[in-house]
Structure 1
Amino acid sequence: MYFKKILVAIALIGLVIAGIFANYIYRVMLVDNTAFNNDQAYIYIPTNANYMEVREQLKPLLKDIEKFDALAKQKKYTSNIKAGRYLIKKGMNNNDIINSIRSKNLPITLAFNNQPDLISLAGRVSMQIEPDSLKLYQVMTNEEFLANNSFTMANALSMYIPNSYEFFWNTSALDFRDRMLKEYKRFWNDSRKAKAKAIGLTENEVMTLASIVHEESKQAVEQPRIAGVYLNRLRIGMPLQADPTLKFAAYQLPQYQGTVIKRVLNVHKDIDSPYNTYKYTGLPPGLIAMPDITAIDAVLNPESHKYLYFAADAKRLGYHKFAKTLSQHNANAREYHRYLSSQGINR
């Protein structure tokens, strides 16, 4: 009888201990431990981060960081940190959170367009993935990489086709650059290559001309007509006389940096630069800005016509008037210049 009482007592003690342990496990693993009001929150774990860095990001998001610590240690997460972007949903328990941040790295949608140069592009990209702008710029301008892939500093911007792309947040600068090269090669499919050959331009030359077309007009509907004008001029050896290239040349000079040129003047036409397409025939050495895909395809699919000139339309701002003769062009240009003067735009 006495022995049975001992067994019963031991069993009861075991049940109590099991209950305590079960309650602890329940509170540590299965109870909601989120402290934020939104439906979800993200944490961004840097490359080579340690547990304390992760903990600092989690602390304001959790009700009880100590209970999370206990489970993280038990599940060996503290010594197995993975970089990336991770989702924590409202109502998650510690077990769910650990499972999410150890193995569910979520991609981001990285987008860029209308960047004037590689420095600006690097800055734009660095706002969306882990590498800083300096590291991105360094790999973008690596001389060996550019030479191996038929680029120069003047046309290196060609490689970055403006669009939206899916990346992991912790993508390295090198991996970003190499992915962009693959996207560039994918963009230049057999159809686009054939069209470039048909108009007598290389891929880099198409991108250079597209950058001029894009700076001339953001109206996709008239970009093929503008491209046709420039191609007509190239065919007959006429200078492109593109105002955006003059502005680009001017902005390289100290006296124009930090200014906005609203009106191209004769003084700008005297600037000695390979980007001065009033002074030098043919295409400039490289891009003057990043062209949209619409402008690239406008160059590859130009409108066939006999126009050699165009001027901004004073009555339809953002659009242009086209002319086949110099006399008609001069009349169109005078009309626009009168409009600029009426608005007090003299430089």
Structure 2
Amino acid sequence: MQEVQSEKKRRNVWIPVGIVFVVIALIVSWIAYLAVLAPTVQTDAEYFYVHSNDTYDDVMQRIKEENIVRNYTLFEYMAKAMDLPENINPGRYRLDSEMNNRRLIGNLRGGYQEAVKFRFQNVRLKENFAGLLGQHFEADSLEFLQVLQDEKTAEKFGFTSDNFFSMFIPNTYEIYWNTNPQKIMARFHTEYMNFWNVDRKAKADALGMTTQEVSTLAAIVKGEAMHTDEMPAIAGLYINRLKRGMLLQADPTVIFANNDFTIRRVLNRHLTIDNPYNTYRFKGLPPGPIMMPSIVAIDAVLNYKKHDYIYMCAKDDFSGYHLFATTMAEHLVNARKFQRALDERNIKR
């Protein structure tokens, strides 16, 4: 009887002890779940950026200050457990509300960043392009501008500082955010080489032009044309003038030479500037493109429309289309119509 009572006492002691162990196990499991598997990201930010010169402490401080994760203490514990202090990588890392500590730390540790989808078109100047690059990548616009203006960089890729802008083919590029400017230039050059395939090069050769010269003419065509369907005709006109040794007399080049992009009406005083981009004074193509040429404009030059026109003037209905002419007399009639239309709208400059 006494032995039975002793056994009952032992059971009564072990039951609460067992409950305590179960509770502890549940707590430990819950903490482990929070530390490893539970969603941790609480910020609305789409990306977290680790700069190339950031230390582990820099990154952890920003994660804490910007409230990136729900429980910083657990995140810090997991970061150390997963050896993040010795393995952190710069980059642009996507954040989402379902992301847990293990995945976020794993991305930072393995450098599993998301590439920037960089798209550009209608870029006028190197300064504009540098600013656009600086907005999308780690290097700032000044670093990019220095590269774009660097003669040695241009020569490395087979260009001059004047025609370097023709290397950039407007398209969508996937490039890692922390890629340095020189490597980004190399990426653009690869696209340029792919763009100028055998067919396009053969057409450029048939025109007696280098690929850079085609891009230079394409930039003028793009500057003149408001409608892509008119580009081949405009390209044909300028090719006719080049073949005859005539001045191109392209208004967009005069605007570029004067560095005044507010000009809506090119006047005689604009034509006097002594600048190699002023095609009213200097024969042939200018030293380089007056803007970044589009693919459509480049192909319009390569597949130009054959005709006899050597003059054109904007239509007086301001539709953006042009009237073409083969003689100066016909052209002057068209020009007077357009000038009267400008006067009627009080467009003086």
Q: Could you tell me the TM-score, scaled by structure 1's length? A: 0.90
Match of 1:145 in 2: 153
Match of 1:101 among 104, 108, 123: 108
- Equivalent position of 2:33 in the other structure: 26
Q: What count of residue pairs does the alignment treat as equivalent? A: 339
CA distance in 2, matches of 1:18, 1:93: 22
Match of residue 76 from structure 1: 83
Unaligned runs of 5+ in 2: none
Counterparts of 2:61 and 2:329, CA distance in 1: 71
Equivalent position of 2:313 in the other structure = 311
Choose from 117, 121, 139 the match for 1:113.
121
Partner of 2:221: 213
Match of 2:58 in 1: 53
The aligned residue for residue 244 of structure 1 is 252
Q: How does 1:151-190 map to 2 (within 5 A)?
A: 151-190=159-198
Q: In structure 2, what residue type is equivalent to 1:140?
A: L
Shift of 1:145: 2.8
1:121 is paired with a residue whose SS is helix
Show structure 1 runs of 5+ residues with no match. Answer: none
Give the conservation status (yes or no) of the 8 Å contact 1:81–1:102: yes
Identify which range, 132-141 or 327-336, moves more after superposition. Answer: 132-141
What secondary structure does 1:54 align onto? helix
Q: CA deviation at 1:14?
A: 6.3
**Cα shift at 1:312:** 0.4
SS of match in other structure, 1:291: coil
Q: What amino acid maps onto 1:297 in structure 2?
A: D
| 1:58-113: CA deviation from partner (whole Å, max 9, x where unpaired) | 33232221211111111111332111121222133322322233332111210111
Instruction: Give how far 1:163 is off.
Output: 1.2
8 A contact 1:274–1:280 mirrored in 2? yes
Asked if the contact 2:35–2:101 (Cα under 8 Å) also holds between the matched residues in 1, the reply is: yes
1:195 correspondence with 2:203: yes
2:84/2:108 contact within 8 Å kept? no
Residues in 1 aligned to 2:61 and 2:248: alpha-carbon distance in whole angstroms: 58
Counterparts of 1:92 and 1:231, CA distance in 2 = 58
Structure with greater Cα Rg: 2
Contact 2:91-2:178 at 8 Å conserved across structures: yes
Say if 1:56 and 1:332 are closer, same or farther in 2 by CA, change over 3 A: farther
- When structure 1 is superposed on structure 2, of 44-53 and 235-244 the one drifting more is 44-53
Q: Find the aligned partners of 1:19 and 1:270 in 2 and give their Cα distance.
A: 86
Alignment-derived partner of residue 89 in structure 1: 96
Cross-structure match for 1:35 = 42
Cα-to-partner distance string for 1:142-187 (whole Å, 9 max, x where unaligned): 3223223331111110111111111111111111011111111111
| Structure 2 SS opposite 1:89 | coil
Find the aligned partners of 1:91 and 1:188 in 2 and give their Cα distance: 44
Deviations 1:235-272 (A, max 9, x none): 01111011111111111xxxx5xx61111111112212
CA distance in 1, matches of 2:146, 2:318: 43
- Work out which of the residue numbers 43, 49, 57 in structure 2 matches 1:44: 49
> Greater shift after overlay, 119-128 or 41-50?
41-50
TM-score by length of 2: 0.89
Correspondent of 1:122 among 130, 143, 156: 130
How far did 1:8 drift? 6.5
**Contact 1:215–1:244, Cα closer than 8 Å, also in 2:** yes
User: 1:82 touches 1:101 (CA, 8 Å); kept in 2?
Assistant: yes
Identity of aligned residues (%): 41
